[in-house]
Structure 1
């Protein structure tokens, strides 16, 4: 559930410019005051402005209620924590206060008439005849927990913050001359002829002598040094081993079936495609096109601006969907499309791609599965008792071997293992305890000592003893001679290949035509390009950069996998911003966003310097440790 919600809540709480500022304001000072649930101490303090515990709880509760309306009553405070909803609400509130303070510093004022017009313009406060409905307004205040005065005060501050941000937004501009210059710089194209001087074509590499091998071996110790190895004795307590010895009666199986009956009731599931639009009329037109045989992905792109990857909801059950969607979606057949359906997210069109019927599995069908489950549950219960008995044995002075013999536990000996789980021959040591803690425990336990009894996943424990430690050591040359010879020759080829490539580049740069150099070297030329400063394709970064420093006819080289690549510049194509207005507009937007971000980062630093932010984390945690959202 959390995965799907994460996809659908990106930007629900924090949006637009304010969202950028929330990121900037993310690192606040924390006051670790030990206070009660409704302490008189503020939960958050921004400069001289305080947010009380009750006020903050109400605001976060409202957000949780909103999320529950979107994702169902099962959305709880723990899920809100994991998704960062609580911190996001605090961040948003702090950001708005800081922006309001910034607006106040600049003398930004919001008149009563502006507030009245804003309230009257909001759709949620309109009634019959599309006019302002006082009853709806008061109902909103009651549900939200505001008094009229507190809401108007909050709205005044938020509108001042909006006006403050709009003024910054208007200043985030770049001149057309600068945009065109940057466009030309980024989009200038260069083409080159290229050849590869491959290491493998270097054949005149002699066999290394004893002194050369010895020097290479010593100069490259890191490559030929064996890691630290440890010899380990392990006792393992695993539920799966205990389960093999446990008998399960028919009565236990029948009771387990009755207790788990709901688990064996497979609900119907449907694989769905969905597009979401803001307007009902657009949704209706999109449905008409689908009924006429139009492609779902193409229509979604044209009508809802959704990419194909965002359309597939996968296989879902009725309970996985919003309430307003589930009934109509599960009322139609395969390959059919719903009428436009409204939810808080917009207007949905959902197509049923495939239906998997549900059904109840009988006791006979799940008998074997139940036997395994019940035996495993009994084994897990017995595992904790067995672990206590093992610790008692060891606490009484028994060795791992003696304790294992007394409790009928297996003992495993590992002759050698390194930090990556491999033995001295480089092979993976098989069947290590699960859970990812074994290697860490093995290499943090002193030689001759027993480790603590450690969990290995959810259904096992292990305890180990480090019997011996072999420190890292340079492997003798005789034991790695073939590897040293192979690497020495490879390095020799690289060095000769580099010198050959350097000679060819020098010839080209002193006037020899590239084609003649390639023919004489018996190398096959190819063409690379267009290459820009930002789009280089498969060309190495250093070589692509060199192309923009070369004159036509000149060459440069760079290391590539297996050799050296030589490139001779053949053509320079100047960028033409007048012929690519869309590209210029995209660049203008990018630069505008970059300037905007720079301004906002400076604003964040300035506001935080003037108005200290502190969060009473202990108090916030206490607020939501029990009953929020119930």
Structure 2
């Protein structure tokens, strides 16, 4: 089995423990049965619980990324189950290497690592044994199990450091990559449009359109449609029944006074000093021409560190009067504050703002009425669900309640009306013709129920109904083909010695663009082909339905002394070094596995997976 990843570092392991323990274990439990391991490298076992835990963690992470539950079947179909097992085999191989070399850590180091895990600490930030025990129970560990696993991880980290620590990519390789990535091009381009054609596109015959229709039938096929009847009720539908009187709205206006009556504010940066002499010295430096950013840099800070954002008088305490009396873009101080003498820079003045009740009334009414409507729907929901459970049809629901009836020919592209709600689209996609309507909620507090009447499979639209659409598509296709033929003529002319501009097309010159660079006017495939074309040689490309011709004017080598290039070089060096380190670990783990032997119990692997369906 090819191993792509090996034991996590101690830091990663602790962070992972903090995350998972904070989530209460996500339903993990010990697996019972006669088999205790899914495999082993030498004498280092991969336990059933370790495999189950790793699978569950991967399933949870992928579920969070996708926003929906991931099943074991999906894990298997995408090969993720094998990736998880491969990682555990890699960890076991490195652990076996540590065992054979006698590498381990003492109790003192183990205790230090345990005490540093935040999930095991009490409110005062100290290690608490009861918190520790509870957290391990939530995760499905006993104390000896967790401490043994942490000890193994610490041992693996020592081996990892010895095998791959301090690996640096060769400078010539880093430089070569950097020069390739940072190289630029200058080029001249033109879009070949219909106006550049020497012949007009003739009108199509009926036979040509019929042939095009037949050859491109997918373009003229209606998607699968779900014929759905639904009944729904939203807060907006109850607008006339939930009007709020002015007395109530005025009370709400006063309750939210802070929102509608904003005091005067200042955008402020602050630098605090240890004593008044240091603050005065900084002010003198500022008066001598230094900037506030210079003062921050002297303190080892950035302006982000000094930024207080928008503040009111109450936020500034003793500094309120001088700061709020200062002009914009001025520096105030030194001023004594609770933190010590400080300098303040005023970067903006925000005048006090007050929204009157009359101005705020519509917003207040909208919020209050929407909330009242949601509450009313909440009160109705039990009765609505009981009616559906009792056999009421959607048509009867619309007649006997405030719900409204609707019909939709639903497709995967539907977004109008109720199809604009994710909840409805999910229910519509999952509905079956034999299911009874069930009350479900919408994101705005509304409710709905639906019935799938039938599924209409994808079917071609009749030619007569889409003839104009076919004609437009045929013509667009013919125009692109004609433009490509014209582009070939232009390329041939340029190869004969003329410039691109002399061919009659409207040209644009790009002085410099980087590999993978962005252009507002050109799609990425054009930029990519520019870097594949020799300087001085014309070329053509069709991208996004448009035809382009271009000539690469010059190659601009990377400036290895440029600050941006140096940054890129550093990033490339780090990536290559990490890749080399990972390769070394892979070689080492493979060697240990080969020497010690790998034993996998596929039956137990399958059994663990079957309990996670």
Q: Which residues in structure 2 correspond to 1:29-178 (within 5 Å)?
A: 32-33=28-29, 170-175=166-171, 177-178=172-173
Matched, 1:513 2:500: no
- For residue 371 of structure 1, report the CA deviation from its aligned partner: 7.8
Q: Distance in 2 between matches of 1:374 and 1:540?
A: 48
Aligned residue number for residue 528 of structure 1:
510
Residue number among 399, 409, 414 corresponding to 1:405 in the alignment: 399
- For residue 209 of structure 1, report the CA deviation from its aligned partner: 1.4
Aligned residue number for residue 407 of structure 2:
414
Mapped contact 1:243–1:379 kept (Cα < 8 A) = yes
Residue number among 197, 205, 209 corresponding to 2:205 in the alignment: 209
The TM-score, its normalising length taken from structure 1, stands at 0.56
- For residue 495 of structure 1, report the CA deviation from its aligned partner: 0.9
Matched, 1:464 2:459: no
Mapped contact 2:229–2:406 kept (Cα < 8 A) = yes
- For residue 223 of structure 1, report the CA deviation from its aligned partner: 2.0
Q: Distance in 1 between matches of 2:242 and 2:179?
A: 77
Mapped contact 1:340–1:348 kept (Cα < 8 A) = no
- For residue 571 of structure 1, report the CA deviation from its aligned partner: 3.7
Aligned residue number for residue 7 of structure 1:
none
Residue number among 391, 396, 399 corresponding to 2:385 in the alignment: 391
CA 1:34–1:365 in 2, change beyond 3 Å: closer, same or farther? farther
CA 1:586–1:400 in 2, change beyond 3 Å: closer, same or farther? closer
Mapped contact 1:234–1:464 kept (Cα < 8 A) = yes
Aligned residue number for residue 564 of structure 1:
547
Q: Distance in 1 between matches of 2:553 and 2:354?
A: 70
Q: Which residues in structure 2 correspond to 1:281-296 (within 5 Å)?
A: none
Aligned-partner SS, 2:509: strand
Mapped contact 1:280–1:340 kept (Cα < 8 A) = no
Listed as ranges, the gaps of 5+ residues in structure 1 are 1-15, 36-46, 49-80, 83-97, 120-140, 147-153, 320-324, 423-428, 611-630
Mapped contact 1:272–1:313 kept (Cα < 8 A) = yes
- For residue 303 of structure 1, report the CA deviation from its aligned partner: 7.4
CA 1:566–1:329 in 2, change beyond 3 Å: closer, same or farther? farther
Residue number among 299, 304, 323 corresponding to 1:333 in the alignment: 323
Residue number among 568, 573, 578 corresponding to 1:592 in the alignment: 573
Q: Distance in 2 between matches of 1:282 and 1:470?
A: 83
- For residue 490 of structure 1, report the CA deviation from its aligned partner: 1.2
Aligned residue number for residue 425 of structure 2:
439
Q: Distance in 2 between matches of 1:570 and 1:360?
A: 60
Mapped contact 1:275–1:300 kept (Cα < 8 A) = no
Mapped contact 1:286–1:303 kept (Cα < 8 A) = no
Aligned-partner SS, 1:478: coil
Residue number among 453, 478, 487 corresponding to 2:464 in the alignment: 478
Mapped contact 2:189–2:509 kept (Cα < 8 A) = yes
Q: Distance in 1 between matches of 2:10 and 2:563?
A: 24
Aligned-partner SS, 1:559: strand
CA 1:552–1:402 in 2, change beyond 3 Å: closer, same or farther? closer
CA 1:286–1:416 in 2, change beyond 3 Å: closer, same or farther? farther
Give CA-to-partner distance per residue, 1:452-479, whole Å, 9 cap, x none: 1011225321123344554432111221
Alpha-carbon RMSD = 6.2
- For residue 272 of structure 1, report the CA deviation from its aligned partner: 3.7
Mapped contact 1:246–1:375 kept (Cα < 8 A) = yes
Aligned-partner SS, 1:514: coil
Q: Distance in 2 between matches of 1:551 and 1:248?
A: 73
Aligned residue number for residue 455 of structure 1:
441
Q: Distance in 2 between matches of 1:201 and 1:303?
A: 64
CA 1:469–1:597 in 2, change beyond 3 Å: closer, same or farther? same
Aligned-partner SS, 2:571: helix
Q: Distance in 2 between matches of 1:189 and 1:441?
A: 51
CA 1:188–1:340 in 2, change beyond 3 Å: closer, same or farther? farther
Q: Distance in 2 between matches of 1:492 and 1:222?
A: 18
Residue number among 459, 468, 481 corresponding to 1:495 in the alignment: 481
Residue number among 198, 214, 217 corresponding to 1:218 in the alignment: 214
CA 1:351–1:505 in 2, change beyond 3 Å: closer, same or farther? same
- For residue 541 of structure 1, report the CA deviation from its aligned partner: 4.9
CA 1:354–1:186 in 2, change beyond 3 Å: closer, same or farther? same
Mapped contact 1:505–1:557 kept (Cα < 8 A) = yes
Q: Distance in 2 between matches of 1:200 and 1:209?
A: 23
Residue number among 188, 198, 209 corresponding to 2:193 in the alignment: 198
CA 1:286–1:591 in 2, change beyond 3 Å: closer, same or farther? farther
